[in-house]
Structure 1
Amino acid sequence: MRVEVNGQNREFAAGATVADVLAEFGRPGTGVAVALDGAVVPRASWPRTPLRDGARVEVLTAVQGG
């Protein structure tokens, strides 16, 4: 299925979850927020939140600065 991740189209297997997106990009489990179709997905829900064809996923990484 085709999923837009941070503005880029990507292919994922049917049944893929938000956690699968993060694994694909090698993102750390901390300091990251995920939105699926504009709604924030709580970290505990990532492994059981399925994607659908045409979904939009935004992965945001916290940056520390001063």
Structure 2
Amino acid sequence: MTIRLDEQDLSLPAGHTVADLLAQLQRPPESVGTALNGQFLRREARASTTLQAGDQVLLFQPIVGG
């Protein structure tokens, strides 16, 4: 299947989760924020969120502050 990752197409096997994608990209989970199809995706939901063909994933620098 093909998804869109940060403005580029990426082919992945069916059943890949967002957590699988980050592991494939060698990105530590705490080093990046994620959005799926324009909606923020919490870190806790990444392992249970299966990607579908045509999904759009955005990785961004998490912002902390108070």
Please state which band the TM-score falls in when normalised by the shorter chain: 0.7 to 0.9
Judge which range, 33-42 or 21-30, deviates more. 21-30
| Aligned-partner residue type, residue 45 of structure 1 | A
**Structure 1: which 4+ aligned runs deviate by more than 4 Å?**
none
Aligned-pair CA distance for 1:23:
1.0
Root-mean-square deviation (CA, aligned residues, Å) is 1.6
> Identity percentage over the alignment?
33
**TM score, norm. by length of structure 2:** 0.87
5+ residue gaps, structure 1, are none
Aligned residues: 64
Confirm or deny that 1:20 pairs with 2:20. Answer: yes
5+ residue gaps, structure 2, are none
